[in-house]
Amino acid sequence: DAGVTQSPTHLIKTRGQQVTLRCSPISGHKSVSWYQQVLGQGPQFIFQYYEKEERGRGNFPDRFSARQFPNYSSELNVNALLLGDSALYLCASSYQAGIPDTQYFGPGTRLTVL
Amino acid sequence: EDKVVQSPLSLVVHEGDTVTLNCSYEVTNFRSLLWYKQEKKAPTFLFMLTSSGIEKKSGRLSSILDKKELFSILNITATQTGDSAVYLCAVVYNFNKFYFGSGTKLNVKP
């Protein structure tokens, strides 16, 4: 079975631009979470989606938004990019949300903002 | 303020040594604690702990949670160079929030 997939692998943008990152969960998983990982730090929680609804949100500005589609894949959008948005963006999937459950991570998208 | 603190920040050992990694937390409405290993990109799942005092074990790795003292430890025995990685602790709290520590960087020398 395929694991969590993310696209693109790498992305270079300039300040002020907008970016869309994509994630496909493990087959059968209904929950997708997004994380931002800056070099040398642990992943920071951005969003969790379950059954197309937002179930959790971290401390990120409104420039960050996400959605989940009927096939449980998800997109993360970041508007008005700042230099500080440069990071590895990780997507994780789990079977469900709201109860203790293992999350499996994708390989990430490396975003560089110039 | 909610927080997850891992210690030590980094560790250098030789093959065959035993290491203990620590994760302490202060969060509201704790639900579970997870350990991950991150080598290059995607963190890979190691353990999920929800109950105090019950050791989870997988090969040379084991972990235990103390919900009274609010910490968990990850033990690795007979370390190998392939164990070199960043080990991340994550706490799930307040229904759906996930909080990762900064990680412990382990370097196992031959």
Question: pLDDT, tens digit, for every residue of A32-81?
Answer: 999 999 988 899 999 999 888 998 888 899 999 999 999 999 999 999 99
Secondary structure (3-state) at A9? coil
Q: How confident is the model at residue A100 (pLDDT cuts 50, 70, 90)?
A: low
Q: For residue B48, is pLDDT > 70? A: yes
Report the C-alpha gap between B16 and A81 in whole angstroms.
46
Find out whether A66 and A56 touch, Cβ atoms under 8 Å. Answer: no
**Most confidently modeled range among A29-33, A48-52, B73-77:** B73-77
Q: What does the pLDDT read at residue A99?
A: 59
Out of A33, A104, A106, closest to residue B98 by CB: A33
Phi first, then psi: what are they for A26, rounded to 5°?
A: -60, 140
State how far the Cα of B63 lies from the Cα of B59, in Å rounded to an integer: 11
B42 to A41: CB separation less than 8 angstroms, yes or no: no
What mean pLDDT comes out for the span A107-111?
96
Query: What is the number of other CB atoms lying within 10 angstroms of the CB of residue A13?
Result: 16
Positions of E strands within chain A:
5-7, 10-13, 19-24, 31-37, 44-50, 53-57, 64-68, 74-78, 87-94, 104-105, 109-113
Contact A43 B100 (CB under 8 A): yes
Yes or no, beta carbons of A58 and B97 under 8 Å apart:
yes
What is the Cα–Cα distance from A30 to A34, expressed in whole angstroms?
Answer: 14
